[in-house]
Amino acid sequence: MPQRCEQMPAVPPIAATGRTGAPRPAAGLAGAGGAGEAPRAGEAFTNETLARMSDLARKFLGIERREQVAPHLAPEDLAASLDLSLGEQGLPLDRVFALLGEVMAATPRTCTPAFFNQLYAGRDAVPTAAEMLTALMNTSMYTYRVAGPHALIEHELMRHMATKVGYAEGEGIICPGGSIANLCAMIIARNEARPGIQDEGHDGRPMVAYASEEAHYSLNKAAAMTGIGRRNLRAIPADARGRMVPDALRSAIAADRERGAEPFMIIAMAGTTVLGAFDPIDDLASIAEESGLWLHVDGALGGSFLVSERLQPLLRGSDRSNSFNWNPHKLMGVPLSCSPLLTREQGLLKKHFKEPADYLFQSDPEKFDHGTMSIQCGRRNDALKIWAAWKRHGDAGYARRVERLCDLVQYAADRVRHDPTFVLTAEPESVCLCFEVIGRQSEEICERLLLEQRAMVGHAVVRGRKVIRLACANPEVTEADVDRFFDHIRAIA
Ligand SMILES: Cc1ncc(COP(=O)(O)O)c(C=O)c1O
């Protein structure tokens, strides 16, 4: 087990070089293949490149084991410690790989058991390998012609995930992040509510969407970008655990209708960003059906709970939604980023995103030209890594993973409950635990933990109070790691 980081000796860069001194070749790797010369044009990826990569990766894993939290420097100090400038002449290969090593060594560690800062964490073997192989194949996912089996993989993956949501005839497309998936959902909902808007543009009559006050800020961006307008995205009050209050939603819809605005969309949160709370989706689905509104579920965080029988009830009613955003890069350990947007109805994605491009869409059955369903043209292959990971873990493995994360948070919550140093902000619903340290500023605690290289954790505001948010996204974190985290805070406090 890695030891306390503040006792560690300073860690040298992965491939030691001096900024001004002569580059030192990575042991046993420099030399052949023009390593000392910058290439004239392109440069082939060879077994030697692979060996250099694997050498850097091996060294990085070693650094992580020795130093769970990287030293935190001010941007100007970090910039001064690295050779970041770009110039007229290329550099020798040894030097470039040495620089890559230096950058890696200076990179905040997100894969160690001291990282609780974000809603993703850790490194799962198979999807990480698949991601590296994806770069090697350099596939664009717009057509079957160039994506081949990867187009079929995305199709199968979307089918499987849609089934988990409860969409018997659903489909989906992988977006470059949960924010874009939410944006695409709002575009579809807007277009469905206002046929013709794609050709004629927005006529100015106000359209209103509803999400809880705890919803993710990407919805504000979506409202700003779709012409809905931020002011027409209503923040509906949430209860003490962060779940939207359905009666407040009903009243808001009625009030908007009364003043002549056109409600068109409800967004239900399946796992809010700060508290990890789940809105009562079934109740919101009833309201959406009664009012004829589109229901989108933002399951960026909590979508993966659908694979667990134990946790699935938190998402009851998802099958009644129209669209669903699910980010396997959050709790499923798949490298950033991968964010399927799933729809209950087939053909909707094409209806709202297809544009003709005869120089591109020339494939066999158009069914697998996924570019016709996407907001993007060239699109990276985010399907392979999710699919490979799912092959490895199966639904059952993923159920164990997300259940483990929730158990860890409950363990952490117990520590908070039983220690008078801490105050629990809200009962945790899933993988986030918010709390305060009595008599101390949350921001200051987070900063000290980072500067002393003990842990990385973030803070947020809940009901006007700044709280520490512990996010558990790495199932390899142990109870002992959680204990160590709280011991560090007690030592600071
Ligand atoms: C609930 C929720 N929705 C959407 C997003 C946006 O996802 P992404 O960071 O992939 O854009 C996040 C990100 O944390 C989130 O927590």
Q: Rounded to an integer, what is the distance from CA 197 to the centroid of its chain?
A: 31
How far is the C-alpha of 408 from the C-alpha of 416, rounded, in Å?
Answer: 13
Nearest atom within ligand 1 for CA of residue 119: 14
User: 212 pairs with which residues across the strands?
Assistant: 236
φ, ψ for residue 456 (rounded to 5)? -115, 120
pLDDT at 297 (0 to 100): 99
Cis peptide before 337 (omega within 30 of 0): yes
Residue 340 vs residues 165, 225, 488: alpha-carbon distances, Å: 12, 20, 38
Residues having CB closer than 6 A to ligand 1 are 119, 177-179, 182, 216, 218, 271, 273, 298, 300-301, 327, 337, 339
Q: How far is the CA of 334 from the centre of ligand 1 (A)?
A: 15
Of residues 266, 281, 270, the one with CA closest to residue 319: 281
Counting ligand 1 atoms within 8 A of each CB, the residue from 179, 220, 244, 469 with the most, and so the one to mutate, is: 179
What residues contact 307, with CB distance under 8 A and at least 6 apart? 164, 395, 398, 399, 402
Token readout for 226 is 């779709």
Q: Which two tokens stand for residue 348?
A: 């909707």
Q: Which two tokens stand for residue 161?
A: 């995930």
Mark the ranges of the chain whose per-residue pLDDT is less than 70: 1-37, 364
> CB of 236 within 8 A of CB of 291?
no
Are the C-beta atoms of 479 and 408 separated by less than 8 Å? Answer: yes
Alpha helices in 354-469 (DSSP H): 383-417, 442-451
Ligand 1 mutation target, pool 174, 243, 279, 327, most atoms within 8 A of CB: 327
Ligand 1 midpoint to CA 358 (Å): 34
Q: Which atom of ligand 1 is nearest to the CA of 180?
A: 11
Compute the distance between CA of residue 271 and CA of residue 473 in angstroms, rounded to an integer: 13
Cα dihedral 111, 112, 118, 120 in deg (nearest 10): 40
Q: Average pLDDT of the chain?
A: 92
Q: How many CA atoms lie within 13 A of 406 on its CB side?
A: 22
Beta bridge partner(s), residue 174: 340
Q: Which two tokens stand for residue 403?
A: 């259940």
H/E segment holding residue 245: none
